[in-house]
Amino acid sequence: MEEKERYSDEELKEFKALILKKLEVAKANLEELKAEAFNTNSNGTDDTSPTFKAMEDESLNVQIREENARQAVRQQKYIKDLENALQRIDNKTYGICRVTGKLIPKERLRLVPHATLSIEAKMQQNNKR
């Protein structure tokens, strides 16, 4: 049996729909992180819970902002990776391992739709570290 060189247009259309959904969620999450970083989700004085009072400690606020910034950077990278995956779909190279040249299994792409390495190549890469 001959091994496929690329995914069919129909399969690529399915992956594109999956990626577009993930991209929409990722962008919404990034906006939430940005809003929290700039404190636009106002926690006014009407919030009287004890946990709010504890969070007023400046060092805790700094830690929270730093963590939000780290998460925002990761989210931006994830969004860029998803957008790159859409480019690969458009040029019909999506799902092809950049190391082995073989098709990345659909199961892996459904879990990690921006993957550019097969499990085999990923393990080789990790062993070199």
Question: ∠ at Cα 7 (5, 9), nearest 5°?
Answer: 130
| Tens digits of residue pLDDT in 40-54 | 444 544 455 555 555
| Tens digits of residue pLDDT in 54-68 | 545 677 777 888 888
Predicted TM-score (pTM) of this structure: 0.78
Q: Give, as one character, the DSSP assignment of residue 44.
A: -
Residues 6+ apart with CB under 8 A from 13: none
Residues 6+ apart with CB under 8 A from 11: 95, 106
Are 61 and 89 in contact, with CB atoms under 8 Å apart?
no
Task: Note whether residue 64 is domain-resident.
Answer: yes
Task: Note whether residue 76 is domain-resident.
Answer: yes
Q: What is the pLDDT of residue 66?
A: 85
Number of structural domains in the chain: 1
Task: Note whether residue 22 is domain-resident.
Answer: yes
Q: Give the range of the structural domain holding residue 74, as residue numbers without chain letter.
A: 9-41+48-93
Task: Note whether residue 105 is domain-resident.
Answer: no
Task: Note whether residue 79 is domain-resident.
Answer: yes
